[in-house]
Amino acid sequence: MPSLSDYLRSSIWARDLPAEALERVCAESFEKASPAGGYVCRRGEPVEHWIGVVEGLVKICAISPDGRTMTFTEISGGGWFGEGSLLKSDTRKYDAIALRPSHMALMPRATFTWLLDSSIAFNRFLLNQLNERLAQFMATVEYDRLLAPEARIARCLAMLFNPHLYPGIEARLHLSQEEIGFLCGVSRQRANQALRVLEDAGLLKVEYGSITALDVQGLMRFGE
DNA sequence: TCATTAAATTGTT
DNA sequence: AACAATTTAATGA
């Protein structure tokens, strides 16, 4: 696992920062670990940090009043989240839960705000990240309303390989079929069935507790 | 290292 | 939703 300092320095947004700015970011940020199943942060909490996943996998999710869970997206190593909440002065709107033992980098609000006020490069990065996220969620609504379940699941999974939002993602994703169901808005049974169709199409490989993407472009085009 | 057991995940109805 | 089968992880000799 990379050290916190190495992790911060290798983040995409850090590349165009002057050395002194990086020093300050490293000095003020800190690390936090969460066990599998543990909350990284919860809905309703005050938002004090921008959060980067150093290692592991974190889902951003909500739970319905009757207990059903739905997942918006999964953040893997290299990904950052929570900037939307930091830009507003409001409590956190969603839960973040570690799906595997995970390490997070926490950048305090003051540091984040300072970067925002002092670095055009950082602003450019954030604008791009917000734009990519908006595109992802617009696409999700589109797929949800226009596509058959198998194509929807294919594209939900393909979107996790967006290099802007999830720079450290690997072809093999350690997600159970139940979690894939939460992510794609289908039952575990439906996810199971769809995964086998996609495997037969040669687009991914299904294994115990994980899937391996073989053809992300193909997943994105499935059902056209 | 191997066998046993529990827990997690998947397959099926 | 429930149940059975399978895979992995944990434990202890």
DSSP state string for A15-79? TTS-HHHHHHHHHH-EEEEE-TT-EEE-TTS---EEEEEEESEEEEEEE-TTS-EEEEEEEETT-
| pTM as predicted | 0.92
Cα torsion A141, A146, A149, A153: sign: negative
Structural domains in chain A? Answer: 4-119 (2.60.120.10), 147-221 (1.10.10.10)
Give percent above pLDDT 90 in chain A: 95
- The tens digit of pLDDT for each residue in A60-84 reads 999 988 888 999 999 999 999 999 9
Q: What is the pLDDT of residue A67?
A: 84
Average pLDDT, chain A: 95
Residue A2, token pair as written in the block: 């990379």
A212 touches strand B (CB under 7 A): no
A145 touches strand B (CB under 7 A): no
Provide the CA A175 to C1' C7 distance, Å, integer: 15
- The tens digit of pLDDT for each residue in A78-111 reads 999 999 999 998 999 999 999 999 999 999 999 9
Residue A214 has pLDDT above 90, yes or no: yes
Q: What is the pLDDT of residue A12?
A: 93
Residues 162-201 on chain A lying near strand B, CB distance under 7 A: 176-178, 188-189, 192, 195-196
State mean pLDDT over A98-125.
96
Q: What is the pLDDT of residue A224?
A: 85
A208 touches strand C (CB under 7 A): yes
Cα–Cα dist A148/A92, whole Å:
33
Cα–Cα dist A5/A52, whole Å:
12
Q: What is the pLDDT of residue A188?
A: 96
A207 touches strand C (CB under 7 A): yes
- Please report which confidence band the pLDDT of residue A24 belongs to, taking 50, 70 and 90 as the band edges: very high
Provide the CA A188 to C1' B12 distance, Å, integer: 13
- The tens digit of pLDDT for each residue in A174-193 reads 999 999 999 999 999 999 99
State mean pLDDT over A108-117.
97
- The tens digit of pLDDT for each residue in A126-141 reads 999 999 999 999 999 9
Residues 90-119 on chain A lying near strand C, CB distance under 7 A: none
